[in-house]
Structure formats: structure tokens, C-alpha cells
Amino acid sequence: MKTTLLEYGKYYHIYNRGINGCNLFRKNENYEYFLHLYDKYISLVADTYSWVLMRNHLHLLVRIKKELDVPYMVQTPEGQKDTSGSAKNLSVYKSPESVSFTPKKYKPSNQFSHLFNAYTKAINKRYHRTGSLFEHPFKRIPVTTNNHLKYLVYYIHHNPIHHGFCEHFLEYPWSSYISMLSPKQTKLNRNEVLEWFENKTYFVEYHNKEQIEKYKEMKINYSDDY
């Protein structure tokens, strides 16, 4: 089955789970390391609006950056990778004749694959396992309406409650809900998310109401396993 590539400038609900339902995260250090890798690989190509890491699956709401905002991946004349290149600073190289590389943009789909592969390698080494950890390919659903965006924020934050890990959003540490309410700095696009809900108060009110009817109206086919 052909996999749809992630397109620049578009919102996506991205989700994945452990192969055969296996656990992705066993200890707190695993969650923390995944978030470290997420920042390393995904911040280059996407803005993040909400996320949750569950024991055997995960959900992300992202917007792929516009192509102009995605950095170049280039090789310097000395052969060292430079991941900070951009259209306006490629001029630091003396002239096109003096270098032997072709600057290329990071590809969003590849970066997500790199993330899952890097985490798999780390977990396999840590727990002396072999083979795949995630299902392939990772799932991606384009998000095209404001109502869908708002509902997905709720759906993602509600996932730990849905699966019985807690009774309230604030009780689960591995989601973006707490960061949305915190005054601390965050790499989340928190202000934009809160604008979708008008303000922080309505954000909380929306989360505290059952939104199942909105889920039915949008006719989104998510598996109960997620």
C-alpha cells in the first residue's frame, strides 16, 4: 500500500504503536529519551501542538513547516554535516565552484522514520532485544478544519483517561496537557492552541466535557487500540 508523504504547511494527526501491541516505554527514562529524540529530529521539520506517550502507543498533532522554514541538510567542503543551513546563509560558502555538495531540504516523512528508528535502536540495545519496535508505516491523518484541530487536542489529552491510566488530565505526566496550562517556557505552539479555544479557561472547560458527539460527527475511524 502506497504511503502518503507529509506535505509542507499541513496539519497532521500522527500516531503509532508497538509492533504486535508490545510496549514502547518501560521506565520514565524511556519516555524522556523519546522526547529528547523527538526534539532532535522533528523540531527541524514540524511544529507540535499536542502529544501523548502511552505505554504501547503515541499520538502527535503537528503542522509540517512551510518549505522555506525547513533548514537545508548540506555537506561542507570538509565533509562535515551542517544542519543549520538556510536559503539566506548558504552564502557563507565562498562560491558554488568551491564546494562539491548539493543542498537539500530535510524531508518530514524521513525525519519521523529517523525518530522511530533511532528510538528502536536505543531500546533494543537497552533491553537486549532485536527487530522492529514500531508498526510500519506510521499512521498519518491530514487535519483540515478548526473543529477537527480542537477535537484532536482533546482526544490526545483524553487518551490516558480512555485507557484507564488516570481519572483526570493533570494526573498523567506524559502528555502536553500540563504544559498547556503552565507558565513555563515550552517548545509547544501553546499560544496558538489556546487561541483555538479562545482562552485558557475555555480550553479547560472543553476538556472537562465529554466530546464523544463531536467525534461521531467527524466520522474519524480510529481503532480502539489507540
Instruction: Quick: pLDDT tens for 54-111.
Output: 999 999 999 999 999 999 876 555 544 554 444 444 444 434 454 556 778 899 999 9
Structural domains of the chain, count: 2
Domain containing residue 23 = 11-67+106-218
Residue 82 shares a structural domain with residue 116: no
Q: How far apart are CA 17 and CA 29, in angstroms?
A: 18
Q: Is residue 223 part of a domain?
A: no
- 48: nearest Cα among 208, 202, 204, 186: 186
Q: Indicate whether 51 pLDDT > 90.
A: yes
Please count the other Cβ atoms lying within 10 Å of the Cβ belonging to residue 103: 16
Q: Which pTM value belongs to this model? A: 0.85
Both 131 and 199 in one domain: the answer is yes
Confidence of residue 218 (pLDDT cuts 50, 70, 90): low
Instruction: Provide the pLDDT for residue 80.
Output: 47
pLDDT at 104: 84
Phi, psi of 160 (to 5 degrees): -65, -30
Provide the pLDDT confidence category of residue 211 given band limits of 50, 70 and 90.
low
Q: For residue 217, what pLDDT band results from cuts at 50, 70 and 90?
A: low
CATH number of the domain enclosing 139: 3.30.70.1290
Residue 152 inside a domain? The answer is: yes
Within-domain flag for 117 = yes
**Among 49, 30, 32, 46, CA closest to 186:** 49
**107-120 confidence digits (pLDDT tens):** 999 999 999 999 99
Backbone angles phi, psi at 23, to 5 degrees: -70, 140
Alpha carbon distances (Å) from 100 to 8, 17, 84, 90, 199: 27, 41, 18, 13, 51
For residues 130 and 113, membership in a common domain is answered with yes
Q: What is the pLDDT of residues 178-199, one digit of tens each?
A: 999 999 999 999 999 999 999 9
Contact 128, 148 (CB under 8 A): no
Residue 226 domain flag: no
Between residues 63 and 224, which one has the greater pLDDT?
63
**pLDDT reported for residue 85:** 46
pLDDT at 220: 57
